[in-house]
Amino acid sequence: MRVKAAKIIVPAVVIALILAAWAIVWVRAQDTFVEARFQGRLFSIPSAVYSVPFELYPGLDVAAAALQTRLSRLNYHPGEVESLSPGEYVWQEQEIQLGLRAFRYPQGQTGSRHVVLSLNPAGRVASIRDGEGRSLDSVMLEPERVGAFHDQDRQDRRIISIENVPELLITAVLAVEDRRFYDHSGIDFRRIAGAFLANLRAGRVVQGGSTLTQQLVKNFYLTSERTFVRKLREAVMSLLLEWRHSKPEILEAYLNEVYMGQRTAVAIHGMGEAARYYFAKEISDLSLGEIGLLAGMIKGPNLYSPKLHPERAITRRNLVLKLLHDEGWVSDELLAEASNEKLGVRAFLPDDNPAPYFFDFLRGDLVAEYGEEILASEGLSVFTTLDAHAQVIARDAVRNGLARLEADFPKLKRESSPLQGAMIVLAPRTGEILAMVGGRRYGQSQFNRAVQMRRQPGSIFKPVVALAALARSDDPNRRFTLATILQDEPLLVPGPTGDWVPTNYDDEFRGSVRLRDAIELSLNVPVARLGIAVGPEKIVATARRMGFVSPLRPLPSLALGSFEVALLEVARAYAVIATGGTVPLVRSYQEVMDDAGNVLEQKQIAFKRAFAPEEVFLVTSLLQGVVDRGTGRGLRDRGVTGPIAGKTGTTNGFRDAWFVAFTPQLLVAVWVGFDDEGSLGVPGSVAALPIVADFLHKYHVDTSAVFVQPSGLEWVAIDAATGLRGGAGCRGELEIFLEGTVPVESCSGSPTRPLDRLFDWLMRGT
C-alpha cells in the first residue's frame, strides 16, 4: 500500500516541483520583460518640428503682419476679457488682449500670461503691457507645430509629469476607471466579482473588471486578444508592476499612454496631447468641464468624441461631473456651472503639413546628424527657420499662379504632365529658408523641384556675368562699367560641335546699347558678347564664388545660362547680391532640443565674404533697374512698392520660366515649367513674375528698408548714346561707378571743360 502511494506521490511531487520551477522561471521572465521597458524609455515620442516664433513689438503693423491669421493658425480663439484663458484673444479697435500659452524654448520655459497690445489710429502697436500693467519691449507668439517625425506606429504624445496634472483630473480618471486604485495590488478581485455578476445579469459584457494597472500592462506589453494565456500574463505582469513601482509612477505612465482619439492617420495618446489637441491648452489650464470630458472619453475616445458626437460627449462629461459631485469633490455650484459649460473644443486644425517639401529637405539635414531612429523616438524639439505664415502664402501663390496660367493659356493644362512650379523664400543675410514649395501638390508628386531638379537658368544667370564684368580687374582690356557700350548685332561663334548663333527674344537688333540696358532689357546678343569679352573662365569662377555647385563649363553659351542649376543654387547666388557680397550658409533649422529641455545643437549664422560691397552694389542697382524699367517692370505694374531688385529668366523654346526678386530683407525665387521640359510658350515675366508679386502682396514686407550704398562709389551724369560723360552740349543721365572707373572723356569732346563739370555737379544734385 505504501509502495503504491509512493509511486503516486513521488511523481506528483516531481511534477509539482518542475511546474513550480517553471512558474518561477516564467514569472522572472515576465518581470524582466516588464522592467526592460519600464526602466528604459517608456514611450517612443516623435520629434516635434516648429516654425519660427513671431515677435510682437511697438511699431508693428498688425494688419500688414496678418496677426489675426497667425493667431488662427496657432488655434487661438476669441474669448472674454473677464476670463481670458491661454489660447484666447479679445480684438478691439484700439486694443488687443492675448492669453499667451506657456512654451518651452531653447532659451528657457515661459509661462502662460495675459498681455495687452495698444494700437494707434494707424493700426500699429503703440505699446505692450502685461496683465499687471507693466510695459514690455516685445513678446513672442509661440511657434507653430508644423509636423513631427513619427515611427511606424504614428502616435502623437505630449509627456506630462504627475506633479503637473490637476488633482481633479486624477480624481476624475480614477472615479470612472479604477476607484480602488490605491487599495489594490494590481488586480481588484472585488471589482472582478462585481463585473462578473453585472455581466451575468445582463447576459452580455457591460462592465469590465480590469484595473488601471492592467489596462496599462495591456497597452504597454500585450495585444487585445481575449485568451486565457494573455489574461494570465496581464494579471502576473500587473502584480509585478505594482510590486516594483509606486502608484504615482504607474498613474503617470497611464496618463501618458491612454488612447484619446485619432487625428486622421495619427493616434492621440496621453492626457497632455489630448488637452492640446481638443482644447489647445496645457493640461494645467483645463477647466472643470474639460477635465470631465477628457476623463469620460477614456471609455470610448471615438464613441464620445466631442467633434464626432457632441451630444454623447456632453452626456458622458456630465456623468463624470456627477460622480465627482457625489464623491464630494465638486460643489453644487461648480457642478451646475460645469454641466452647462460649452464643450469648448477648438476647431480641429487640418492635419495638413503646409511645408511637406521643406519637411523632406529638413529630414535630410537632420538624419545626417541624428539618424532616423532618434528622430522618430527621442522626442526632440526641432526649431526650424520656416515661417509658417510665409509658407502658406508661398504654397497658395504657386498653386493659384499655375491655375491662372492654365486659365489664361488653355494649352498649358495637361493631364499627363501637369504644369509645375517651385518657390524658395530666403532671409538673405542669415541664409534661413523661410518657405519652400517643391511642386504643385505633394500628394501627387514628392519630387522637390526647388532642390532636386536642375534646369537651364537662361537669363536669370546674366547678373553672374554682370558681376564678373563689373568687378575690379587689373586687365585694362577687361574693365567694364554699367555705361560700357556693347554691340547688339548678329553674332556667330564657331565651336567644335557647330556654330553658336545667339538671338534676342524678339529677333531684333538695336545696334549700340549700354551694359545696363542689355541686362535690364535682357538682350541676349550683347550679353553674349560681354561674356566672351570677360572670359567664360572668369564667369565660372564668379559663379563658384557665388555658391553655384552644379557642373559648369567655360563655353561662350554659359553667359546665357546654358548649363543646368537648381533653384536653391539660384536663390543662394542672388542672396550674395542682396547681402552686398557675402555667401550665406543656407539653413533649414536653428536649434535642436531634447525632451528634457537641453539644447543639443545651435546652428550659427555663417557666411563668407566673396566680393567687395561696392562691386555687388553695381549689380543691385542694375537689378533695381530691371524692376523699374526693364523686363521685371510687371512687378511695379502689379502694385509692388518699395526698394526691390529682380531678374526674369526664360530658356530656349520657353521651356523654363524664372523670376527672382529681393528686398533688403527678403528674397523670393520662382521657377515654372513642365517636368518633361515641354514648352510654356510664355516668358518668365508672364509665368513666374506674377507668382512673386502675389507672394509679396500678401506677405509682410517692410517697404521702409533701403539698399544701403557702400563707400567707393560715385554717381556721374552719362550720355546714354555714347556711354561718355554727359556735357552741356549733349543729354546726360546719372549712372553709378566704382571710384576710378568713371569715363574721362566727355560727350561734348573735352574731358576737362568747366562747363561739363558744372553740368555733372548739377545732375548729381538732382
Catalytically active residues are 177, 459
**Helical (H) or strand (E) element with 153:** none
Calpha distance 38→669 (Å, rounded) = 51
Best CA proximity match to 591, nearest among 578, 577, 605 = 605
DSSP bridge pairs for 104: 109
Q: Is the dihedral of CA 470, 474, 477, 483 positive or negative?
A: positive
Cell triple for 81: 476679457
Strands 582-584 and 266-269: unpaired
CB-based contact 380:370 (threshold 8 Å): yes
**How many beta carbons lie within 10 A of that of residue 132, not counting itself?**
7
For the chain, give percent helix, strand, coil, nearest 5: 40, 20, 40
- Sequence-ordered strand ranges (E) for 560-666: 582-584, 589-593, 599-602, 607-609, 645-650, 656-662
Beta-carbon contacts of residue 283 (< 8 Å; ≥ 6 apart)? 160, 164, 165, 166, 169, 271, 272, 275
108: exposed, middle or buried (Cβ count in 10 Å: 0-12, 13-18, 19+): exposed
Integer Cα distance of 411 and 680 in angstroms = 9
Strands of 605-725 (E only): list them. Answer: 607-609, 645-650, 656-662, 667-673, 713-718
Integer Cα distance of 73 and 389 in angstroms: 8
DSSP assigned state of 587: B
Does an H or E element contain 267, and which?
Answer: strand 266-269
Sign of torsion, CA 310 313 319 324? negative
Strands 139-141 and 125-130, sheet pairing: unpaired
